[in-house]
């Protein structure tokens, strides 16, 4: 077959007949994925698709984050720190990607958003069960969130299960105890349904690790991985806050939260407080 100027011919080995073979779109479920965007504005606002895709993409990443953090927890429980570190690194990069993604939504101006915001009704990111699951598995447990999902029993049950299970940090501390570190019994026997609160008695444990990284390299490396993860998560939170502030100012959120003020308070939460507190003592 002749080709026109500048036309790129297909290589001979490229398959073109998929009548009986698995193709790209089928493998990825693109028919379902690309038909899952349903703007509600009337007439349809041209920027509502951006808003939907932004949040759907975030939820897809959250699905992978939960998959990886569940693996991290399992690896730590089995003392497989190398595999846990690989999964932690992946989650860190996901949150960096999510943080940068806010720059796309930030192209939505306040004037544009207000033109379709009313069509969102009471829907809000506050109701993201996957986000809540991420917070639960990292240590920010909160049973008061469960009633938000009463209308969806399967989702509520999944969150309730995570509430009852140890966090990534719990499993890391249990791992340290098995490696001979003096982790207090109160930590190992704590009620995992409760949100993590800083335990000053843990700081000497981390002080020992940081005082001699070469002797405790495995534990030391995981500590730094957890700090990397928290930094990436907090930067994502901060970019969320700034994007919301530039888009709606200080309006109340669509789900009834205080909006920017609610997001600001989230920045005060920390998953691994002892890993930050120990830094004050290093080299003192």
Q: pLDDT: is 35 or 244 the higher one?
A: 35
Q: pLDDT tens digits, residue range 171-204?
A: 999 999 999 999 999 999 999 999 999 999 999 9
| pTM of the predicted protein model | 0.92
CA nearest 246: which of 118, 58, 113, 131? Answer: 113
Q: Report the pLDDT value the prediction gives residue 126, as an integer from 0 to 100.
A: 85
Please, which residues have CB within 8 angstroms of residue 118's CB and are 6 or more apart in sequence? Answer: none
Q: Report the pLDDT value the prediction gives residue 10, as an integer from 0 to 100.
A: 78
Q: pLDDT tens digits, residue range 79-109?
A: 999 999 999 999 999 999 999 999 999 999 9
Euclidean distance between CA atoms 126 and 138, whole angstroms: 17
Torsional class of 256: left (φ above 0), alpha (ψ -120 to 50), beta (otherwise): left
Q: Report the pLDDT value the prediction gives residue 284, as an integer from 0 to 100.
A: 74
**Phi, psi values for residue 250, rounded to 5°:** -115, 30
Q: pLDDT tens digits, residue range 223-253?
A: 999 999 999 999 999 999 999 888 878 777 6
Q: Report the pLDDT value the prediction gives residue 253, as an integer from 0 to 100.
A: 67
B/e letters for 5-24, b = 16+ CB within 10 Å, e = fewer, are eeeeeeeeeeeeeeeeeeee
Tell me, rounded to whole angstroms, the distance of Cα 265 from its chain centroid: 18
Q: Report the pLDDT value the prediction gives residue 283, as an integer from 0 to 100.
A: 80
Q: Report the pLDDT value the prediction gives residue 88, as an integer from 0 to 100.
A: 98
Whether residue 81 contacts residue 173, with contact meaning beta carbons closer than 8 Å, is answered with no
89 is written with which tokens?
Answer: 């690194």
Q: Report the pLDDT value the prediction gives residue 219, as an integer from 0 to 100.
A: 98
Q: Evaluate the CA torsion angle 52, 101, 61, 239 in order and state its sign.
A: negative
Is 117 annotated to bind a ligand? Reply is: yes
Q: Report the pLDDT value the prediction gives residue 1, as an integer from 0 to 100.
A: 58
Lowest mean pLDDT among 126-130, 159-163, 183-187, 261-265: 261-265
Is 54 annotated to bind a ligand? Reply is: yes
Is 280 annotated to bind a ligand? Reply is: no
**For residue 255, is pLDDT > 90?**
no
Question: Mean per-residue pLDDT for 139-168?
Answer: 97
CB count in 10 Å sphere of residue 231? 14
Is 113 annotated to bind a ligand? Reply is: yes
**For residue 153, is pLDDT > 80?**
yes
Is 254 annotated to bind a ligand? Reply is: yes
Average pLDDT, the chain: 93
Q: Report the pLDDT value the prediction gives residue 4, as an integer from 0 to 100.
A: 66
Q: pLDDT tens digits, residue range 41-93?
A: 999 999 999 999 999 999 999 999 999 999 999 999 999 999 999 999 999 99
CB count in 10 Å sphere of residue 74? 14
**For residue 254, is pLDDT > 70?**
no
Across the chain, which distance is largest between two alpha carbons, in Å?
77
Could you confirm whether domain 45-280 is CATH 1.20.58.480?
yes
Question: Mean per-residue pLDDT for 3-29?
Answer: 86
Q: Report the pLDDT value the prediction gives residue 5, as an integer from 0 to 100.
A: 76
């Amino acid at each position: 077959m002749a080709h026109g100027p500048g036309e790129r011919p297909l290589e001979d080995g490229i398959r073109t007949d998929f009548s009986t073979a698995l193709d790209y779109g089928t493998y990825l479920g693109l028919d379902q994925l690309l038909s899952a965007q349903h703007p509600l504005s009337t007439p349809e606002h041209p920027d509502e698709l951006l808003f939907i895709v932004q949040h759907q993409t975030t939820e897809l990443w959250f699905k992978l984050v939960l998959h990886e953090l569940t693996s991290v927890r399992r690896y730590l429980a089995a003392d497989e720190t190398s595999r846990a570190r690989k999964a932690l690194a992946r989650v860190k990069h996901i949150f960096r990607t999510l943080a940068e993604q806010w720059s796309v939504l930030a192209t939505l101006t306040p004037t544009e958003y207000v033109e379709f915001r009313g069509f969102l009704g009471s829907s809000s990111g506050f109701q993201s069960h996957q986000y809540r699951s991420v917070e639960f598995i990292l240590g920010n447990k909160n049973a008061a969130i469960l009633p938000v999902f009463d209308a969806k029993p399967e989702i509520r049950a999944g969150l309730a299960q995570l509430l009852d299970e140890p966090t990534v940090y719990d499993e890391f501390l249990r791992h340290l105890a098995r490696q001979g570190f003096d982790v207090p019994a109160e930590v190992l026997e704590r009620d995992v349904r409760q949100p993590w609160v800083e335990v000053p008695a843990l700081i000497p444990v981390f002080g020992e690790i940081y005082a001699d990284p070469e002797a405790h390299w495995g534990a030391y490396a995981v500590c730094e991985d957890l700090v990397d993860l928290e930094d990436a998560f907090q930067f994502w939170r901060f970019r969320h806050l700034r994007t919301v502030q530039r888009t709606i100012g200080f309006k109340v959120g669509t789900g009834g939260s205080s909006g920017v003020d609610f997001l600001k308070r989230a920045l005060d939460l920390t998953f691994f407080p002892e890993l930050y507190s120990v830094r004050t003592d290093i080299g003192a």
